[in-house]
Amino acid sequence: MASTAPFAKMNGIGNEIIVADMRGRADRVTPSAALALNADAATKFDQIMAIHDARTPGTAFSIDILNSDGTGAQACGNGMRCVVQALAAETGQKTFAFETVAGILNAEEHADGLISVDMGKPRFGWQDIPLAEEFRDTRMIELQIGPIDAPVLHSPSVVSMGNPHAIFWVDRDVWSYELDRFGPLLENHPIFPERANITIARVTSPETMVIRTWERGAGLTKACGTAASAVVAAARTKRTGRSVSLVTPGGGSLHVEWRGDDHVILTGAAEWEFSGSFDPSTGVWARDTESAA
């Protein structure tokens, strides 16, 4: 069908990604198409990264990002690595500048196959995250789940890396918390007018951290690239240094550096699974015959 577009099913350390090639087209991937793709076990995803022709001089491509519930997202670090790997394999190019809703993102594929994405500068002002009310110090805000005298989670750090994030610091195994139950409540808490990603983080050393994330619009995820915000919040609260390795539920490792110029650099792997074509308006899709099973 002439209306179909190519796609690649990929993952960024477990973060399930669909990279959709929408270059040369005027249409967009619809929310109903996203819902249909997510309903199929083979194409279930956390984010769709739709590659469009550049709209801004100096950028290579424009990227639209959709969550699995059909809503838009401002940023996705793991998804950007998948985009870079797909484009680098096609073009041989190693460095890219992308236009996103969150701004211009620069990315690079290294000789060892790892990919770095410049996630830009964190935003800490309550109105920039945004929060519904003023908090002078966003290193810790008044928010908790559970009994008032014995909360299960409390006093998160909040920050925006393009998406709003709340990071709850814990001292025990991140798997011991019912994030599937608490996540939806916290994502949609009135303090977050644009909803928020919810991360449980356990610092294991000044250079390492284990995290688990409920992602806004996607739910429980094996990895979350903009959880780079956890490193920023950890360094800001003196829990770690500014260069940290994150262990995620997908079993992968991300290296995150909060550089002296205030930019956050996310480095990790991306993996191709299979390719196909789909209708961006309906989500009806077919696997390429030569694609791996």
State yes or no: pLDDT of 1 exceeds 60. Answer: no
Q: pTM score, two decimals? A: 0.87
The predicted model gives 186-205 an average pLDDT of: 95
pLDDT at 14: 78
Catalytic residue list: 76, 224
**54 confidence band (pLDDT: 50, 70, 90):** very high
The one-letter amino acid at 36: A
Contact indicator for 41, 81 with CB cutoff of 8 Å? no
For 90, counting Cβ atoms within 10 Å of its Cβ (0-12 exposed, 13-18 middle, 19+ buried), the class is exposed
Distance CA 216, CA 194 (A): 9
The string of pLDDT tens digits covering residues 99-122 is: 998 888 999 999 999 999 998 899
Distance CA 34, CA 7 (A): 13
State yes or no: pLDDT of 274 exceeds 90. Answer: yes
